[in-house]
């Protein structure tokens, strides 16, 4: 009887070992999946996501699963709500303002030095923080057509009567480019002058779109003569439409910079894989893909050599800053108050 019981125990322990060992192997396989939250434009078949996924998986043991997010703000809200149960290993598409908004709510992993070859305009973003890696960037300015009849050299030129109702702008409460313009004005003019200028500029606006695409669509359809956009926007028209009539405007004022960052939340499950993907994003191969699909400048200078992007003149720019949320809210509230008082 004892032999029989011992025999059953052996079988049971063997089955248990097989079962749990099998489960561990399944978990190891599952752990190889990197869950990356990214925008719809990033993961679309015409965006950089699919090409990056294919190339990365060829070079690594990890698998990539993109989770489409309609809005970065919603992704951050989801992370904050789910806390330790969050499934995200990596968040893409953060900008300077998203980083400020998430600072008090979400904990991020400290990143090692992932590249020592970043261009000077972007490298400054790594001096003041070590939790987010830039992966593309572009200065922002006004974009028009070559046949524009009005000479634009500085912000004050936007107030010329010929441009009344002809400038497509974005709402800074809902749009990162809109917020960039607002901060640019407050950074280049004393506060009282900035408020006076904003009152005048609002009367020049065709409208304030909720996002960049709405404003750019108005400009593209010739309902507006100017739009606040990226210096890289004309390259899109050259490559995709063979149209070289679009131009970005150099201003006397130093231009603001829009940078897209990636960050790894501390709640990541596949932290190693997420870090490996970030290293990959800083490689020359990945940078070329992002540049050609996102129509933004690469953070590695040599990635744009012998391409259309190499011809882009990078105008004088403001140093990158991370603004605290309180200051951002103050500027937005001032903008909102001006609109309300002006009846716009």
Total Cβ atoms within 10 A of residue 216: 22
pLDDT for 100 equals 87
Q: Are 94 and 263 in contact (CB under 8 A)?
A: yes
Please check whether the domain covering 139-257+324-342 is classified as CATH 3.40.190.10.
Answer: yes
Phi, psi dihedrals of residue 255, rounded to the nearest 5°: -90, 150
What is the 8-class DSSP label of residue 104? T
Query: What is the spatial distance between Cα 98 and Cα 261, in angstroms, rounded to a whole number?
Result: 9
In sequence order, what are the residues at sequence separation of 6 or more whose Cβ sits closer than 8 angstroms to the Cβ of residue 211? 170, 174, 175
List the one residue out of 229, 251, 262, 256 whose CA is nearest residue 321: 256
Cα 26 off chain centre by: 34
Per-domain residue ranges of the chain: 12-17+25-137+258-311, 139-257+324-342
The token pair at 129 is 């923080």
In sequence order, what are the residues at sequence separation of 6 or more whose Cβ sits closer than 8 angstroms to the Cβ of residue 105? 76, 80
Task: Return the exposure string of 298-335: e unless at least 16 CB atoms fall within 10 Å of the residue's CB, then b.
Answer: bbbbebbeeebbeebeeeebbebeebeeeebeebbebb
The architecture of the domain spanning 12-17+25-137+258-311 is 3-Layer(aba) Sandwich (3.40)
Q: Is 76 helix (H, G, I), strand (E, B) or coil?
A: helix
Q: Are 265 and 148 in contact (CB under 8 A)?
A: no
Say whether 139-257+324-342 and 12-17+25-137+258-311 share the same fold: yes
Query: What is the spatial distance between Cα 177 and Cα 180, in angstroms, rounded to a whole number?
Result: 5
Question: Would strands 167-170 and 226-230 be described as parallel, antiparallel, or unpaired?
Answer: parallel
Helix (H) or strand (E) holding 94: strand 90-94
Low-confidence ranges of the chain (pLDDT < 50): 1-29
pTM: 0.87
pLDDT for 15 equals 43
Query: What is the spatial distance between Cα 338 and Cα 213, in angstroms, rounded to a whole number?
Result: 24
């Amino acid at each position: 009887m004892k032999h029989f019981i011992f025999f059953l125990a052996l079988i049971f322990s063997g089955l248990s070992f097989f079962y749990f060992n099998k489960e561990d192997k399944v978990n190891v396989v599952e752990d190889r999946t990197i869950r990356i939250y990214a925008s719809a434009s990033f993961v679309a078949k015409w965006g950089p996501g699919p090409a990056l996924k294919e190339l990365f998986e060829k070079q690594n043991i990890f698998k990539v699963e993109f989770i489409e997010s309609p809005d970065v703000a919603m992704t951050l809200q989801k992370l904050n709500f789910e806390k330790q149960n969050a499934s995200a290993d990596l968040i893409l598409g953060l900008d300077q303002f998203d980083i400020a908004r998430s600072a008090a709510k979400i904990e991020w992993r400290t990143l090692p030095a992932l590249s020592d070859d970043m261009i000077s305009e972007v490298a400054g973003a790594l001096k003041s923080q070590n939790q987010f890696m830039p992966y593309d960037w572009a200065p922002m300015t006004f974009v028009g057509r070559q046949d524009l009849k009005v000479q634009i050299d500085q912000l004050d030129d936007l107030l010329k009567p010929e441009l009344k109702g002809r400038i497509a702008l974005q709402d800074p409460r809902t749009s990162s480019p809109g917020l960039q313009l607002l901060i640019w004005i407050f950074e280049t003019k004393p506060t009282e002058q900035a408020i006076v200028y904003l009152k005048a500029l609002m009367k020049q606006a065709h409208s304030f779109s909720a996002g960049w695409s709405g404003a750019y669509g108005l400009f593209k359809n010739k309902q507006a003569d100017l739009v606040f956009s990226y210096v890289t926007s004309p390259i899109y028209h050259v490559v995709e439409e063979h149209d070289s009539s679009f131009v970005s405007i150099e201003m006397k004022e130093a231009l603001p910079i829009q940078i897209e960052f990636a960050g790894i939340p501390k709640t990541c499950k596949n932290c190693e894989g997420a870090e490996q993907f970030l290293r990959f994003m800083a490689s020359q191969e990945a940078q070329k893909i992002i540049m050609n699909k996102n129509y933004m400048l690469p953070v590695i200078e040599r990635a744009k050599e012998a391409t259309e992007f190499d011809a882009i003149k990078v105008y004088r720019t403001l140093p990158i800053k991370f603004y605290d949320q309180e200051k951002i809210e103050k500027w937005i509230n001032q903008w909102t108050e001006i609109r309300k008082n002006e009846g716009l």
